[in-house]
Structure formats: C-alpha cells, structure tokens
A and B are shown apart, each in its own frame.
Chain A
Amino acid sequence: MESSHYEFPELEPLSEEMFLNTERRCPVVLLQDTSTSMAPHINKVNEGLQVLRHDLMADRLAAQRVEIAVITFGPVQLIQDFVTVDRWLPPRLHADGNTPLGQALRFALKQIRARKRAYREAGIPYYRPWIWLVTDGEPTDSWRDAGEEVQAEVKAGGLEMFTIGTDGADVDILRQIGAPRPPVWLRETKYREMFVWLSQSLKPVSRGTPGTALDLPPPSAWGEVQL
C-alpha cells in the first residue's frame, strides 16, 4: 500500500491489481416451512431473516463468504438463489400451503449440487454446505426417500444438516433426517434468537481454519436439543 512505497522506494509498489478476489464460500440453504399453520409466526421469521443479514453484515469476511439460498415449502419454491450476504436482500415470506417436506429436501439437495458445480467451475473453494430446516408440521408427502438421500450426503461428509421443529412438527422424523445431529425444538417462537445463533455459528465457520470441526454453542437461548 502507500506506506510500502515509502518503505521500499526502490521497489515496485504494491497494488490492488496484484491480487485476485475470489473469497471462499459457505453455502447455506434456509429451508423454511411456509405452510398455512406458519401464518401467525411468519412475520417473526421475516424479522429473523433481517436480523440474520444484519448480524452477518457486521462481519466483513462472513458477509463475503456465507451464501444464502431461501427455499420455502409448500409449495416448494426457490425464493432466493445462492447469493453472498453482502448482496442479499432478505425476502418477505408468506405462509400459505401444505408441508411437502420430502420434495423440499430433494430440491434443496439439487440446488446445493448445482451450486457446488458452479463453485468448482469458477475455481472458488467452498466449505461443507448447510441446510437449515425449520418446520412446524408433519410432512404431507412421503419424506423417507429424501431423508435417506440427506443421510447419505451427511454420512459422506458432504452436508451439515440442521433440523428445527416447532408447534406440530414430528421430532422423530426430524431426528431421522438430521442424524447424528439431534433436532432442536424452537421455544416460544424465538425466531430472532434462532437466527442470531445461526449467524454467530456461521461466522467462525467462514473464517476457515483448515481442518477444524464444527464447534457450535448450545442453542439454549432459543431452543431445546431433542436428544
């Protein structure tokens, strides 16, 4: 930078042009249940998304590395394709539909595969993708095959699966989908606190110390782990 020009007057100065800008990416799918029963709480979810963005934006590297995609169900819809947080405008979600969880999971896996392909083609290194599933009801479609696909991906080390249940969600189903990570039961619609936790957990991940395993804080501010 300028100073080096003075420190080393005889040498060529440093310049922006010497460096590329290809930040590593940490893809996160927010897989959000927007069935009709979510209607009373959807504004809290929307507020939570704003909190998530705001909190991640305060961390310069996380804002450039964490990529958010928003998928809602049902019907299954790609509301927001992967975008780095610094370019993300959180959507306003509406609750109106059933709970096709199986279809939603398959779609999320498909989006992640496509994103990883795009990273590879662009030569952008990436962290293990996250799926952050929030649901308040039992699935209205057959979810077992999709659950097994998720489990295969988790076991192969290709996915961090998080399951969060509330109201009428079936913890046993979430446990099967999210194993070995137990589901978390959301307390008192604490979506805001939940998204703060998500943001706080993503920040160290996106700092990227090679070889580090996930070391997540307990979610006690917003939920109870369902062991």
Chain B
Amino acid sequence: MTWAFASAAQAGPGKERVQDACAIRSFDRTLVLAVSDGAGSAPLSHIGATVASRTFSEQANPLVPSLVGSGGTGFWTEEDAFKWASTLVERIAEAIRAVAEQEERPIAEYAATLVGVVISPEGSLFVQVGDGIAVFRKGDQLEVAIQPEEAEFVNSTYFLTDANVQDHIQLRVIEGPLDEVALLTDGLQPLVLAGADAIPHERFFETVFRNIRSEAGEDTTASAWLASMLASDLVTSRTDDDTSIVAAVRRAD
C-alpha cells in the first residue's frame, strides 16, 4: 500500500508553546499515525504528547504481525486487538514515566491523550485514550472510528498518565484497506464534526484529502497548507485550544 500524508500542529492563540504532537511512520506494509493532546493544566504535557505520539509510532508496527490472522478469523479479533492496544498503551505510559522519573517530576505533569491508528492492507486498528477523534473513509462514506467517550464536561478527559488508563482504552477494528484517514485533537473537533454523534463535516475532510497531492510519503506542501489553515482566523476565531491534524490518502497500488 502506498500512502501520501501531511500533518500540522498549532499552538492556540496567545500560547507560547504547542502542547499537541503528531507522529507518522511509514513501513513496507503498514502506515502508523498518531496525535496526542497535552493537557493544558499540565506544565510538561508537551513532552508527554511528544513521547506518546512518538512511542506509538515506534512501537505499534512491531506488534502488528503477531496479531494478523490470529484467532483463525483471517484478521484480528477484538480480543487480540485489545491485548495489542493494552500492551501499547502500557509501553507509552512506561515511556512517559521514564521521562518523568529522569526529570524527577510527577507523571501527572506529562498528562496527554492519544489517538492512533495502524493501517495495513488486511485491516486497521484504531486506539484512543481521552479526547480527540479519528475519521476514515472506506469506500463512499466518511466515518468516525471511535465515538468520544462520555465525559460530561468540556474540561475533563482521560490521560495516558492516569493510574487507571487501562480502563479507558477505546479501540476499533476495521477489516480491509482504508482509503483516507485523518486524526485530530479536540481543539479542532467541534469545528469539523457535527452534533452529539460527531458526524464528519465533509467539506472540511474532502478539502484536506484533496489537497494532499504527492505520490507517496509526506506532502510537505500539504503540511504547510495545513499549518497555515490551523493558524488562520478561520480556526483561531473558533477555538483557543491547540489544534493538530494528521491526514493520509492511499494511492492506487
């Protein structure tokens, strides 16, 4: 499978430092994407977000081959998927904890969320902790991978650094190849997903996907365009939060 992709992260208006982070890694048979939102209230969350997205992109792929085809279904079972996601989240939490211990800071200061996906020709696995959202197209329809977990108020979510993070892992297995995928953190979410059911706003996603035009690998022009979009009044007049997006488009093989 050949993929073209682009990404950007932008600090909210008036903020010095972006606390969101993105990571993309392309392998022979898989594409791994992740976004992470560092908690605004946690002073070192930008580091947490960077470690989270990077660790996901590094660790997700090696864990995949052992799961493909297990359970005799030809593809990951939900149970396999959960084991995979659970191990992955544990490794991410460990990676954050290692940084916290080295710096002698409480791990809560690194609080960050995660939305990640591993895409293979046989199928894809989305995993999520806390807010943020993944949207994909497989055939005609744009679809949200994982509906946001119930958290009643805007200013509360779950983090990779929570002691009970394993209770808040959400996942979704999609069989077969995907055509387009976008991951975004919650700053952008209300601008491009409508209603309680989080229905993708097609005009947004279609424009983003159409503007990724390279044949393979990162489309740096599209990444620059995404960055200019996140920095534009169109976005900054609608949210004060950090915003970030990773988008990928599959090319004909």
Contacts and interface: CB of A to CB of B under 8 A. Distances in A.
B110 to A, nearest CB: 13
A158 B152 CA distance: 9
A211 interface: yes
A18 B203 CA distance: 5
Contacts of A157: 153
Contacts of B154: 24, 125-127, 208, 210
A210 B225 contact: no
Interface string A22-63: 111000000000000000000000000000000000001100
Contacts of A20: 190-194, 201
A219 to B, nearest CB: 22
Taking each of B39, B111, B131, B240, which has the highest tally of chain A beta carbons within 10 Å of its own beta carbon? B240
Contacts, number: 119
A16 B41 CA distance: 31
A207 B13 CA distance: 11
Interface string A2-33: 01100110111011111111111000000000
Given A14-B229, A126-B154, A1 B42 contact: no
A123 interface: yes
A120 interface: yes
B229 to A, nearest CB: 6
Interface string B188-219: 00111111111001011001001101000000
Given A24-B154, A211-B40, A4 B228 contact: yes
Given A12-B211, A17-B203, A22 B155 contact: no
A188 interface: no
Main secondary structure, interface of A, reads loop
B235 interface: yes
Given A24-B154, A210-B41, A11 B196 contact: no
Given A24-B190, A120-B196, A122-B196, A209 B204 contact: no
A18 B237 CA distance: 14
A87 to B, nearest CB: 18
A211 B221 contact: no
Interface residues of B, number: 44
Given A21-B238, A211-B39, A211-B40, A14 B232 contact: yes
A8 B40 contact: no
Contacts of B196: 120-123
Nearest to A25: B154
A128 interface: yes
B220 to A, nearest CB: 12
Nearest to A61: B240
B101 interface: no
Contacts of B210: 12
A104 to B, nearest CB: 24
Contact of B232 (A1, A24, A123, A128): A1
Contacts of A1: 232-234
A122 B198 CA distance: 10
Interface string B137-166: 000000000000000111111000000000
Contacts of B207: 12, 14-15, 18
Given A19-B191, A19-B204, A210 B234 contact: no
A211 B201 contact: no
A116 B168 CA distance: 24
Contacts of B180: none
Interface string A120-145: 11110111100000000000000000
A1 B39 CA distance: 29
A22 B194 contact: yes
Given A17-B203, A22-B191, A211-B156, 4 more contacts: A19-B192, A121-B196, A128-B153, A210-B155
Interface of B: 37, 39-42, 111, 131, 152-157, 186, 190-198, 201, 203-204, 207, 210-211, 213, 221-222, 224-225, 228-229, 232-235, 237-238, 240-241
9 contacts: A11-B213, A18-B207, A21-B238, A23-B190, A126-B153, A128-B153, A210-B156, A211-B42, A213-B41
